[in-house]
Homo-oligomer: A and B are copies of this chain.
Amino acid sequence: MSDTLLKPHPLDEATYLRSLGPGRLAGRTSAAYWNMAGPFGGTTAAILLRAVMEHPDRRGRPVAQTVNFCAAVAEGEFEVLVRLVRDGRSTQHWLVELVQGDVVAATASTVTGPSRETWSHRPGAPPPMPPSQALAPLPTEGRNAWLGRYEFRFERGEPIPGRASAEAPAPALSRAWVRDAPPRPLDYVALAALADTFVVKILQVRGDIPPVATVSMTTYFLADEAEMARQGEDYLLCTADARAFKHGFNDQTAELWSAGGELLAVSNQVVWFKG
């Protein structure tokens, strides 16, 4: 039995929360997912979702999560406050805050609801992709730690410094097979983090990284528990694009498809950049 099977996955360590009482939890930032100047935003999203999923009154699966990144999360301890705003028949609405001292570093609104079978129709389709093993993994050594917590196999849109310039921008579209490293069975907490693994588009498009930060991110979870279970540890087909960089912000729109061609989640974010 390999050593990795005996230890919790780094994502489970990074999102571990200790109960401090009803709707109040404590956690700690994780070096394993460190980004440039703070934790990878995907772990923040995952922590805020896990806080809801572990609430005793939560029913059903996540449907929507909006995370607002209000301030830099400092290395160390934080508290998470969870409030059930509305307990409706078909959905529950939650407000969550991540607090360090008197600073609200992040907030989230989350909708949960029971899995249901209904009429289904899928006008969207995944783009054609070569098999994951036909694409080279992105080298992540020597880069920010969080990149090493994922395996990226890009078909297009690799985020490589210097491949584009402000005068000759590259296309914003990216397509890649992505999964946790080491592999981990997919759940909603991991999917919330995966929705933020699209490296800042300005690097891909302009070739450099100015001061940049996601301001707000919204993920809709379209998969039920059975689709999540079918995905297991396989690669997700992750596509992302951007339509406008102007007045200091850009949009980003993403799709996360299962290996079997099911749309697991769609995610959007608005990103602040300087210069």
A222 nearest CB neighbor, chain B only: B244
Given A64-B215, A216-B64, A263-B244: A205 in contact with B270 (beta carbons within 8 A) = no
Whether, in the assembled complex, A143 has its beta carbon less than 8 Å from a beta carbon of chain B, the answer is no
A145 at the binding interface (Cβ < 8 Å): no
A209 lies within 8 A of chain B by Cβ: no
* Contact of A198 with B by CB under 8 A: no
CB contact list, A150-170 vs B, under 8 A:
166, 169
How many residues of chain A get a CB closer than 8 Å to chain B's CBs? 63
- Do A169 and B245 touch (CB < 8 A)? no
Of A113, A241, A248, which is in contact with the most chain B CB atoms at under 10 Å from its CB? A248
Would you list which residues of chain A between 115 and 144 have a CB under 8 Å from chain B? Answer: 115-124
Closest to A241 in B: B123
Q: Are B206 and A245 in contact (CB under 8 A)?
A: no
Q: Which of A167-191 contact B (CB under 8 A)?
A: 169, 171-172
| A273 touches B (CB below 8 Å) | yes
Contact pick for A86, options B71, B255, B272, CB 8 Å: B71
Chain A stretch 221-275: residues in CB contact (< 8 A) with chain B: 222-224, 241-249, 251, 253, 255, 263, 266, 268, 270, 272-275
Question: Is A34 in contact with chain B by the CB < 8 A criterion?
Answer: no
- Contact assessment for B66 and A121 in the assembled complex, using a CB-CB cutoff below 8 Å: no
* A171–B70 CA distance with the chains assembled, in angstroms: 38
Interchain CB contact (< 8 A) of A66 among B109, B124, B255, B273: B109
Partner among B109, B113, B119 whose Cβ is within 8 Å of the Cβ of A272: B113
- The stretch among A21-29, A46-54, A88-96 that forms the contact with chain B is A88-96
CB distance from A242 to the nearest CB of B (A): 6
User: A45-77: contact bitstring with B at CB < 8 Å (1 yes, 0 no)?
Assistant: 000000000000000000110101011000000
Distance in angstroms between the alpha carbons of A71 and B87 in the assembled complex: 9
| A85-B107 contact, Cβ under 8 Å, with A90-B272, A243-B122 | yes
CB distance from A17 to the nearest CB of B (A): 21
CB closest chain-B residue, reference A123: B172
How near does chain B come to A258, taking the closest CB pair, in angstroms?
Answer: 12
Residue A32 CB within 8 A of the other chain: no
- Please give, as numbers and ranges, the residues of chain B lying within 8 Å of A31 by CB-CB distance: none
Instruction: Name A105's closest neighbour in chain B (CB-CB).
Output: B86
Q: Can you list 5 A-B pairs with a CB-CB distance of less than 8 A?
A: A68-B93, A120-B246, A218-B268, A222-B249, A224-B246
